[in-house]
């Protein structure tokens, strides 16, 4: 279906949990391990997807927190795979729990993997993530490629003076393997104002004229993609603050507690839990239609936006 501004909403980002064993500095540095008591059940998530598919949802991305902390993850993936109309299932993970499981996820029906990777230096990665293991991430990337996930997208948040000196090392990862390195501009969704640390895609591009622009892979793609002749992968820049792409946005989010958030950069939310508990399919569909129709025209990142949820609570 379309929202009130004529955007065709086809992409659902489904946050399976707020829980995460990492404490990334730009996301949830001071939070402990979040409770799971308010998380929707697998059946509730699948009911939402079954209702949203006839409304036009074609792609589902599983996020968190860390979605691999859900023990019923394969059940959720296979359940979504069985829904008529869903064409692609993707997942974003920090890969701390990925080694040894890529083939299982592929067999369950997962099509795409995005892996967060904010440093190629073990001690720096550990510091940025609050204790994460770089070895687990690198192993997870290799196993994901071997299992047939291609391309594997690597999500990198560059922070000035923290890890921006590694930009070229990240780009070099695209040379021999089908990985898409995507530099994501810092957004005001964490607990601290780090806007002075934001590194924009434009400044990265200015210093790297050898990057050749290429067409996006799909409609509504948030990244501006570039190629290096002879490289197997791509380089992308996702700049929601300096290069807003709101007019092309085709996605909505549902948090792990059953709240529909039409825009990442706006605090407008529509709780669905009561309808899930006591309503029928028509009432649930009507509630979702209303939320999608009221999707804001633009995000509020440029208007002194203060989020009422951190990124881990919204869904990455």
Structural domain of residue 240, as residue ranges? Answer: 11-314
Q: Which has more pLDDT, 196 or 76?
A: 76
Reported as a pLDDT band with limits 50, 70 and 90, residue 247 is confident
Q: Please indicate, yes or no, if residue 273 is contained in any of the structural domains.
A: yes
Q: How confident is the model at residue 65 (pLDDT cuts 50, 70, 90)?
A: very high
Share of the chain above pLDDT 70, in %: 88
> What is the per-residue pLDDT for 290?
96
Q: Which of 37, 32, 12, 9 is nearest to 20 (CA)?
A: 32
Domains of the chain: total? 1
Q: What pLDDT shows up at residue 301? A: 58
Q: How far apart are CA 214 and CA 218, in angstroms?
A: 12
- Cα R_g (the chain), whole angstroms: 19
Classify each residue of 249-288 as buried b or exposed e, where b means 16 or more C-beta atoms within 10 Å of its C-beta.
bbbbbbbbbbbbbbbbbbeebbebeebbeeeeeeebbebb
SS3 of 18-86: CCCCCCCCCCCCCCCCCCCCCCCCHHHHHHHHHHHHHHCCCEEEEECCCHHHCCCHHHHHHHHHCCCCC
Percentage with pLDDT > 90 across the chain: 74
Q: What is the pLDDT of residue 232?
A: 97
Does the residue 2 lie in any domain? Answer: no
Q: How confident is the model at residue 108 (pLDDT cuts 50, 70, 90)?
A: very high
Answer yes or no: is 6 within a domain: no
Asked, for residue 4, whether it belongs to a domain, the answer is no
Is residue 267 in some structural domain? Answer: yes
Q: For the segment 9-28, what is each residue's pLDDT rounded down to a tens digit? A: 999 999 999 999 998 877 76
Is the pLDDT at 135 greater than 80? The verdict is: yes
In a domain, 215, yes or no: yes
- Mean pLDDT on 224-232: 96
Closest CA to 150 of 118, 120, 176: 176
Q: Is residue 124 part of a domain?
A: yes
- Is 145 within a domain? yes
Nearest-10 Cα torsion for 136, 14, 48, 249: -140
CATH number at residue 192: 3.20.20.70
């Amino acid at each position: 279906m379309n929202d009130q501004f004529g955007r065709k909403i086809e992409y659902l980002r489904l946050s399976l949990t707020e829980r995460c064993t990492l404490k990334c500095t730009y996301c949830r540095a001071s939070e402990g391990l979040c409770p799971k008591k308010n998380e929707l059940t697998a059946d509730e998530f699948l009911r939402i997807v079954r209702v949203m598919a006839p409304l036009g949802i074609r792609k589902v991305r599983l996020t968190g927190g860390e979605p691999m902390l859900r023990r019923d993850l394969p059940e959720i993936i296979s359940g979504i795979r069985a829904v008529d109309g869903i064409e692609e299932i993707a997942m974003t993970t920090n890969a701390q729990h990925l080694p040894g499981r890529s083939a299982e996820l592929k067999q369950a029906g997962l099509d795409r993997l995005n892996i967060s990777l904010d440093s190629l230096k073990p001690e720096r990665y550990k510091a940025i993530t609050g204790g994460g293991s770089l070895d687990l991430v690198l192993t997870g990337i290799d196993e994901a490629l071997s299992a047939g996930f291609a391309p594997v997208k690597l999500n990198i948040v560059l922070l000035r003076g923290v890890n921006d000196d590694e930009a070229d090392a990240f780009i070099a990862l695209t040379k021999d393997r089908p990985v898409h390195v995507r530099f994501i501009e810092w957004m005001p969704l964490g607990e601290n104002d780090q806007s002075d640390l934001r590194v924009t895609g434009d400044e990265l591009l200015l210093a790297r004229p050898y990057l050749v622009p290429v067409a996006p892979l799909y409609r509504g793609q948030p990244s501006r993609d570039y190629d290096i002749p002879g490289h197997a992968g791509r380089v992308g820049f996702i700049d929601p603050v300096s290069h807003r792409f709101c007019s092309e946005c085709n996605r909505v989010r549902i948090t792990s507690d059953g709240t529909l958030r039409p825009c990442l950069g706006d605090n407008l939310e529509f709780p669905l839990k009561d309808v899930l508990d006591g309503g029928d399919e028509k009432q649930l569909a009507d509630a979702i239609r209303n939320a999608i129709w009221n999707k804001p025209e633009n995000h509020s990142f440029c208007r002194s936006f203060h989020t009422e949820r951190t990124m881990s609570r919204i869904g990455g």
